[in-house]
């Protein structure tokens, strides 16, 4: 049993409970993470980031709480404490993905989206990975997607030489056609960064989502990201989702338009071929 004094001491300040042991947790791309065993019998998860951007952890905590407001929606870990330098959550013990858990997750995700949002956007800006996420509302989804989700990241990637100018043009032209391509629906309550790494397969068929970039948006965004990066048991998730909240015709043919966003974000973060991949998808919608 090990105990990192500095980490344990910070957690104790925030939780008001003694930390018996600490253990590093691998897997995070942005933050350092530690598992905490507390004297009250609970286990917690602490994440930190050196020189975190302003309100970085506060926005994540707010997103988790906003998602948790929906009755019978997708489960989120309990927010135990948050400050400018760290976030402490209830620990989620994971197991292997199963069909029943996948179906339950699909139904819960549908109910989360049905929970709705008051605007296309959010009250405050947030983050996706380390990147700022603009959330100032706009009147329509088409405007919001083009101006808040595509343009800022295409600009960054282009300025840093991470995407070819011709590819950037294709992506922006496709995003400008969202009003023609995507059916008009009310704003859904989105996780916003729903890829496989942010879906935890908990025990008792309870799927828990983490690391949201939450805002009000089109529900097909979350489904597009799940499909882009893959998820165990995904067909069962989607079938159960459609039972609760039937999707508009041809939704699978439209997924690519909303996959442009995570791909250009990845181009900004990692470079590589993400920009070219986004441009190839964009061509389908021109």
Reduced to 3 states, what is the DSSP secondary structure of residue 236?
Answer: helix
pLDDT of residue 4: 83
For residues 34 and 131, state if they share a domain: no
Q: Label residue 258 left, alpha or beta by phi (over 0 means left) and psi (-120 to 50 means alpha).
A: alpha
For residues 44 and 181, state if they share a domain: no
pLDDT of residue 194: 97
pLDDT of residue 225: 97
pLDDT of residue 26: 83
Catalytic positions, written as ranges: 193
CB 228 within 8 A of CB 256: no
CB 134 within 8 A of CB 124: no
CATH number for position 194: 3.90.1200.10
pLDDT of residue 91: 97
CB 122 within 8 A of CB 221: no
For the record, the structure tokens of 147 come out as 């101006």
Helix (H) or strand (E) holding 62: helix 56-68
Range of the domain at 65: 5-90
Q: What is the pLDDT of residues 166-189, one digit of tens each?
A: 999 999 999 999 999 999 999 999
pLDDT of residue 277: 97
Number of helices (H) and strands (E) in the chain: give both, helices first: 11, 11
CATH number for position 18: 3.30.200.20
Nearest Cα to 230, choosing from 198, 260, 253? 198
pLDDT of residue 11: 93
Each of the 286 residues of the chain gets a pLDDT tens digit; together they read: 587 888 889 999 999 999 999 999 986 678 899 999 999 999 999 999 988 999 999 999 999 999 999 999 999 999 999 999 999 999 999 999 999 999 999 999 999 999 999 999 999 999 999 999 999 999 999 999 999 999 999 999 999 999 999 999 999 999 999 999 999 999 999 999 999 999 999 998 999 999 999 999 999 999 999 999 999 999 999 999 999 999 999 999 999 999 999 999 999 999 889 999 999 999 999 9
pLDDT of residue 3: 79
pLDDT of residue 1: 59
For residues 106 and 188, state if they share a domain: yes
Q: What is the pLDDT of residues 192-218, one digit of tens each?
A: 999 999 999 999 899 999 999 999 999
> CA-to-CA distance for 166 and 171, rounded, in angstroms?
9
For residues 198 and 269, state if they share a domain: yes
| Domain end position, chosen among 60, 90, 120 | 90
CB 77 within 8 A of CB 43: no
For residues 122 and 72, state if they share a domain: no
| Domain end position, chosen among 61, 90, 119 | 90
């Amino acid at each position: 049993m090990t105990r990192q004094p500095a980490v344990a001491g910070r957690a104790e300040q925030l939780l008001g409970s003694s930390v018996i042991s600490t253990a590093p947790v691998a897997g995070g791309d942005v933050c350092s993470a530690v598992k905490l065993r507390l004297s009250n019998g609970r286990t917690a998860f602490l994440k930190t980031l050196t020189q975190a951007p302003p309100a970085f952890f506060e926005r994540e905590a707010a997103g988790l709480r906003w998602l948790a407001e929906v009755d019978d929606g997708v489960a989120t870990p309990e927010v135990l404490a948050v400050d400018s330098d760290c976030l402490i959550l209830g620990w989620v013990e994971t197991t292997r993905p199963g069909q029943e858990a996948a179906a339950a997750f699909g139904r819960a995700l549908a109910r989360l989206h049905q929970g709705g949002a008051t605007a296309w956007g959010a009250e405050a800006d947030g983050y996706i990975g380390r990147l700022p996420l603009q959330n100032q509302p706009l009147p329509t989804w088409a405007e919001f997607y083009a101006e808040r989700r595509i343009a800022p990241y295409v600009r960054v990637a282009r300025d840093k030489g991470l995407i070819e100018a011709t590819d950037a043009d294709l992506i922006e032209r496709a995003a400008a056609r969202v009003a023609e391509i995507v059916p008009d629906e009310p704003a859904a309550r989105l996780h916003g960064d729903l890829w496989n790494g942010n879906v935890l397969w908990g025990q008792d068929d309870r799927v828990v989502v983490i690391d949201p970039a939450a805002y009000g948006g089109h529900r097909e965004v979350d489904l597009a990201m799940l499909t882009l990066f893959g998820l165990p048991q995904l067909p069962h998730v989607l079938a159960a989702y459609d039972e609760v909240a039937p999707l508009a015709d041809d939704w699978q043919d439209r997924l690519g338009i909303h996959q442009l966003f995570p791909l250009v974000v990845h181009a900004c973060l990692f470079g590589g071929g993400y920009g070219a991949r986004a441009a190839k998808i964009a061509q389908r919608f021109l």
